[in-house]
A and B are shown apart, each in its own frame.
Chain A
Amino acid sequence: MKQQGKDIGLCLCKVCRQLNSSDLTHCQRCEAELQVRDYSSLQKSWALLITAAILLVPANIYPITMLTNQGQVRHDTIFSGILHLVHSDMLPIAVIVFTASILVPWIKIIGLSIYLCAISFDIPISKKKLMVGFHIIEWIGRWSMLDLFVISITVALVNMGQLLDAKPAPAATAFALVILLTQLAAKVLDTRLLWDRLEPQDDTN
């Protein structure tokens, strides 16, 4: 039975996952609006993703923290902060921070753009692999928040004037927006659009 809900006149509610007949306009359980396919979600997702990709540039080239240690001021970007961790022999921590603040945002933006390209331009990539990738992106996306939490704890704890003082720097806002926008881009997208392009001969894809 390789039938889509669209073909047999059924529609799943996006909010409460109740099965509805596609003649209805609102879900019979939670009264949310029903949409068999949300075609505009593709555009929304692209818009959010492109904004996030643009913001990724300031997030990486501007300093994200400013540390005053005994009168000396040091500005750290995301990358130089990680390098500093490597040099002070904290490799495991450096790996965690590298994954959360560099790897995850890049994977998210590249992965989502591949996914959106596959839908928009009908690129023949294995749909199953794309979907697995999408689930991974949805799950790891939140872990970028780690860097912001660390900054907030550090800033609140270390405030001893010229002796030792940590402050956030402009990239922090850009980085927070990158996380927010990529999460929204993944959430807004109607993934059912990908599976409509199914040709009869490759329905195992």
Chain B
Amino acid sequence: MHENAAENSVILCRSCDLAVRKRALPSGVRALCPRCSTALYDTPYCSVNGMLALCISALVFYFPANFLPVLEIHFFGSIRTTTVFQGAFAVFDQGYWVVGLAVLAAAVIGPGLLLLSILTQILIVKWGLSRLFWRNSLKQLLKFHGVLSQLTMLEIYVISFLVSSFQLSDFSDIYFGMGTFCFTMLFLVTLFLQREYDLEHMWTLLEGHR
């Protein structure tokens, strides 16, 4: 790194390319671009062990959330249940594979890959930074992190449980299952994990080890 001090204290806004002088912030404060109010940076509070704990608990909830019944319908004595995973495949089976893929990507694959990616990143940061291979893997994971976190739409799925249960309560009795609880917990834990996670901080961890 051959940057001088003056260059280091200047950052550019990613939305409008304005040069802004970087200043130290008190914790919990976010710097906004003075021209277009895009969020520029905040004080990272990125505890690696805290993230590891959150990540493991999210992975514990991940499988029951996707494979246990989330909604139950009681209709003339027969009970039907569905899981998040079956939901995606049901539309797939009807021939609407675009819809099926969208649901599968946003609710099952996206969160799964995001959690696995964060877990790998943390493990590399903790133990593997000295090897070139692991540093390169970390670099690739960090590059894809933005896409994965945009693909994850757990919060929307949680609301859609509510909406569909109200819609179907018009026809018969609806009950939530164990999967609903696990999915909501998965959403909450992932939310806190993403608040803790700071991409810029992860990049500096990688940089610091060159």
| A143 CA to B76 CA, complexed, in Å | 34
Size of B's binding interface in residues, CB under 8 A: 66
| Chain A positions within 8 Å of B88 at CB level | 152
Per the 8 Å Cβ criterion, residues 155-194 of B in contact with A are 156-157, 159-164, 166-168, 170-172
State A1–B19 Cα separation when bound (angstroms). 7
Q: Judge whether A97 and B12 touch: CB under 8 Å.
A: no
B19 contacts A148, CB within 8 Å? Answer: no
- Bound form: Cα–Cα A196–B18 in Å: 10
For A11, list chain B residues within 8 Å (CB): 12
Smallest Cβ-Cβ distance to A179: which chain B residue? B102
Please name all residues of chain B whose beta carbon is closer than 8 Å to the beta carbon of A148 when the two chains form the complex: 99, 102-103
Q: Which one of A40-48, A116-124, A164-172 contacts B? A: A164-172
Query: How many A residues are at the interface, by size bracket?
Result: 35 or more
Q: CB distance B37 to A132 under 8 Å?
A: yes
- Of the listed stretches B57-65, B78-86, B118-126, name the one at the interface; the rest are far from the partner chain: B78-86
**In the complex, what residues of A have CB within 8 A of residue B19's CB?**
1, 3-5, 8, 10
A145-B106, A156-B90 are contacts. A69–B171 as well, Cβ < 8 Å? yes
List 13 interface pairs A-B (beta carbons < 8 Å), by A numbering: A3-B19, A30-B142, A90-B167, A96-B159, A149-B106, A149-B157, A150-B164, A150-B167, A152-B99, A153-B164, A164-B75, A194-B16, A196-B17
Instruction: Given contacts A145-B153, A159-B80, list 7 more A-B pairs with CB under 8 A.
Output: A8-B19, A29-B207, A90-B170, A128-B37, A157-B168, A172-B99, A173-B98
